[in-house]
C-alpha cells in the first residue's frame, strides 16, 4: 500500500507540475535589455531611461546585473540603484532580449526671428487671425446689447484697435525684434523584442526642440531679458520622448492575465496588482472560450501589491462575473453616447398624404448591459409625399421636433415612456416597444384628438 501511495503521489506531483507549467500564463518573461547608440555622450542617459521605463512598466522581469555593473559608474542611474534589491540577483533563464538601436543621431542649433514679444502690462499689440493689430493701450470696453454698442468699461474684455474695430483679447505684445535660438535633436530608433511567444520589431523617429536662448520682456524697465538653457535640457526631453514612444510600441505586447478572486457587485477583486504592472484606470475583460466573445469589462479603480479592485462596467446579458474567471488586460470598449433614429409614422387618418418620416440625433444613457435606458433626440420630420415628390428638395418643409424616452421596464425587449414636442404643433406622449434596435412607437396628443403610430430603427 505504501508503494502504491508513493506511486500515486509521484503521478499526482507530475500532473500538477505539468499543469503549472502549461497554465502559468501569469509569469512575466525575463528579458535582457541592450541599448546601442554611437553618441557616447548620450549613451548612458538613453540606457538608464530605457531600462527604467521597461522595468517600471512591471510587464517584464529585466535582467540587469551586467547592465548595472557597466553603468554603476554613472550618476544618471540613481533611480535604478534604488531598485537594486528588486533586480534579479539569482541565476535566471533569459526568455529573450529587447534590443534598441539609436542611429542617425543629429544635434544642431537653429534660429528664428520674432518681431513681437509678449508684454501683459503695457503691450500695444494683439494677435488676431489676420495678424498683429495695434490697439489703444489702457482702454477697455464691454458690449451693451441694449444699444448694440461698445462702451468704455474698466472691467471690460474688449479693446479698440487703431483700425476702429473692437477685439476680445487677453494676451498683449510689444514690437521688439529678437532672435530665438533652439537646440534640435533628432534620431532614428529601431527596436526588436524577442521573448518566448512575444515577438515585435519596428522603428520610429524621435525629434525634440528646446529653446537654447529665449527672451522675456521687462515692462518696468522697457527691455528684454535673455534666458539661457543648458544642452542637458534637450537631452532630457529627448530621453523622455524616446522612452514614452518605446513604451507605446512595446508594452501592449504582453497582456497581464489574472483571476477573479471575489465579487461583490459591482466590484470585483483580481489577483494581480502593482507588482504585475496593473495601473489604475486600466481595463480587463473576461472572454468566452472562443477568446473573442466579450462577457464582461472591468475598470481598475485601486491597486495593491498583489491585487486590484475593479468596477464592473459591462456584463453580457445572462452572464454573471464569478470567482476564478480569467481576466485579460485589454483596451476599453468605447461606446459613443449618441442616439440615432429613423422612423415612419401615420396618423389616425391612415392616409399616405399625412404620413411622415422622422430623422433624429441626440444623446443616450445606457446600463451595464449597454442597453438604452433613456435618450433625448433632436431632429426634423418630413411628409412622405414631399420626400417622394419629383420636384426636388425645394418642396421639403421640415417640422422640427424634440423627443425622448425612458425605459419603464424590460431588458432587451423593453417598454419605454415617450414624449415629443414640435414647433408650431402640440405636445405628444406615448409608449414605445424596443427589441434590439427595432423600435415601435405610438403617440397621442394630451387632448387625445390626434394619434401617431409607427416604427423604425433606434440606436
Structure confidence by residue, pLDDT tens digits, 106-160 = 889 999 999 999 998 899 999 998 899 999 998 999 999 888 899 999 999 999 9
Q: Which fold has domain 257-330?
A: Thrombin, subunit H (2.40.10)
**Spatial distance between the Cα atoms of 362 and 458, rounded to a whole number of angstroms:** 11
Which range of 156-165, 217-226, 416-425 scores highest in mean pLDDT? It is 156-165
**Residue spans in the chain of domains classed CATH 2.40.10.170:** 257-330
Take residue 365 and report the three cell numbers written for it: 444613457
Find the angle CA(119)-CA(125)-CA(126) to the nearest 5 degrees. Answer: 95
| Residue scoring higher pLDDT (64 or 32) | 32
**Strands 173-195 and 283-287, how do they pair?**
unpaired
Take residue 240 and report the three cell numbers written for it: 523622455
Show Cβ contacts of residue 393 under 8 Å, excluding neighbours closer than 6 positions. Answer: none
**Spatial distance between the Cα atoms of 89 and 353, rounded to a whole number of angstroms:** 84
pLDDT at 219: 85
Mean pLDDT of 381-400: 75
pLDDT, tens only, 322-364? 999 999 988 888 888 888 899 999 988 888 888 889 999 999 9
For residue 209, pLDDT beyond 60: yes
Take residue 437 and report the three cell numbers written for it: 434596435
**Residue spans in the chain of domains classed CATH 2.40.160:** 338-458
pLDDT at 311: 95
Query: What architecture (CATH level 2) is domain 338-458?
Result: Beta Barrel (2.40)
* Closest C-alpha among 28, 437, 18, 20 to residue 257: 28
CA 45 to chain centre: 30
**Spatial distance between the Cα atoms of 311 and 314, rounded to a whole number of angstroms:** 9
For residue 303, pLDDT beyond 60: yes
Take residue 432 and report the three cell numbers written for it: 414605445
**Spatial distance between the Cα atoms of 224 and 430, rounded to a whole number of angstroms:** 70
**Spatial distance between the Cα atoms of 334 and 455, rounded to a whole number of angstroms:** 28
Q: What percent of the chain has pLDDT over 90?
A: 35
Largest Cα span, the chain: 108
Q: Which residues pair with 61 in a beta bridge?
A: 30
Which has the minimum average pLDDT: 63-72, 176-185, 337-346? 63-72
Mean pLDDT of 2-25: 34
Give phi and psi for 404, each to the nearest 5: -155, 165
pLDDT at 89: 41
pLDDT, tens only, 228-276? 988 888 888 887 788 778 777 776 667 888 999 999 999 999 999 888 8
Average pLDDT taken over every residue of the chain: 80
Amino acid at each position: 500500500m505504501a508503494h502504491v501511495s508513493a506511486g500515486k503521489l509521484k503521478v499526482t506531483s507530475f500532473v500538477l507540475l505539468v499543469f503549472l507549467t502549461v497554465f502559468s500564463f501569469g509569469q512575466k518573461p525575463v528579458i535582457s535589455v541592450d541599448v546601442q547608440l554611437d553618441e557616447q555622450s548620450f549613451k548612458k542617459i538613453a540606457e538608464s531611461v530605457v531600462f527604467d521605463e521597461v522595468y517600471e512598466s512591471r510587464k517584464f522581469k529585466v535582467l540587469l546585473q551586467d547592465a548595472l555593473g557597466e553603468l554603476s559608474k554613472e550618476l544618471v542611474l540613481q533611480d535604478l540603484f534604488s531598485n537594486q534589491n528588486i533586480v534579479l540577483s539569482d541565476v535566471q533563464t533569459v526568455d529573450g532580449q529587447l534590443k534598441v538601436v539609436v542611429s542617425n543621431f543629429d544635434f544642431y542649433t537653429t534660429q528664428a526671428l520674432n518681431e513681437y514679444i509678449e508684454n501683459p502690462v503695457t503691450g500695444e499689440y494683439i494677435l488676431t487671425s489676420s495678424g498683429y493689430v495695434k490697439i489703444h493701450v489702457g482702454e477697455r470696453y464691454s458690449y451693451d446689447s441694449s444699444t448694440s454698442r461698445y462702451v468704455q468699461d474698466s472691467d471690460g474684455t474688449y479693446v479698440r484697435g487703431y483700425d476702429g474695430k473692437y477685439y476680445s483679447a487677453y494676451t498683449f505684445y510689444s514690437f521688439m525684434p529678437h532672435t530665438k535660438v533652439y537646440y534640435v535633436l533628432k534620431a532614428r530608433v529601431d527596436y526588436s523584442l524577442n521573448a518566448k511567444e512575444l515577438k515585435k520589431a519596428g522603428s520610429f523617429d524621435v525629434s525634440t526642440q528646446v529653446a537654447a536662448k529665449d527672451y522675456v520682456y521687462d515692462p518696468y524697465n522697457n527691455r528684454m531679458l535673455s534666458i539661457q538653457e543648458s544642452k542637458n535640457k534637450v537631452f532630457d526631453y529627448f530621453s523622455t520622448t524616446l522612452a514614452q514612444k518605446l513604451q507605446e510600441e512595446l508594452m501592449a505586447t504582453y497582456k497581464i492575465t489574472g483571476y477573479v478572486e471575489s465579487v461583490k457587485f459591482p466590484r470585483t477583486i483580481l489577483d494581480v496588482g502593482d507588482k504585475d504592472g496593473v495601473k489604475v484606470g486600466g481595463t480587463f475583460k473576461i472572454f468566452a472560450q472562443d477568446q473573442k466573445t466579450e462577457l464582461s469589462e472591468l475598470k481598475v479603480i485601486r491597486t495593491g501589491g498583489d491585487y486590484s479592485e475593479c468596477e464592473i462596467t459591462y456584463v453580457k446579458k445572462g452572464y454573471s462575473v464569478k470567482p476564478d474567471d480569467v481576466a485579460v488586460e485589454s483596451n476599453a470598449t468605447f461606446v459613443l453616447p449618441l442616439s440615432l433614429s429613423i422612423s415612419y409614422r401615420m396618423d389616425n387618418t391612415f392616409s399616405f398624404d399625412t404620413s411622415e418620416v422622422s430623422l433624429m440625433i441626440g444623446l443616450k444613457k445606457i446600463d451595464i448591459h449597454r442597453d438604452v435606458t433613456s435618450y433625448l433626440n433632436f431632429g426634423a420630420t418630413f411628409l412622405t409625399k414631399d420626400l417622394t415628390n419629383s420636384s426636388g428638395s425645394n418642396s421639403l418643409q421640415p417640422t422640427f421636433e424634440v423627443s425622448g424616452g425612458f425605459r419603464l421596464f424590460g431588458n432587451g425587449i423593453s417598454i419605454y415612456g415617450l414624449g415629443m414636442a414640435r414647433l408650431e404643433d402640440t405636445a405628444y406622449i406615448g409608449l414605445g416597444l424596443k427589441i434590439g434596435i427595432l423600435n415601435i412607437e405610438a403617440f397621442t396628443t394630451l387632448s387625445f384628438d390626434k394619434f401617431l403610430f409607427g416604427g423604425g430603427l433606434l440606436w
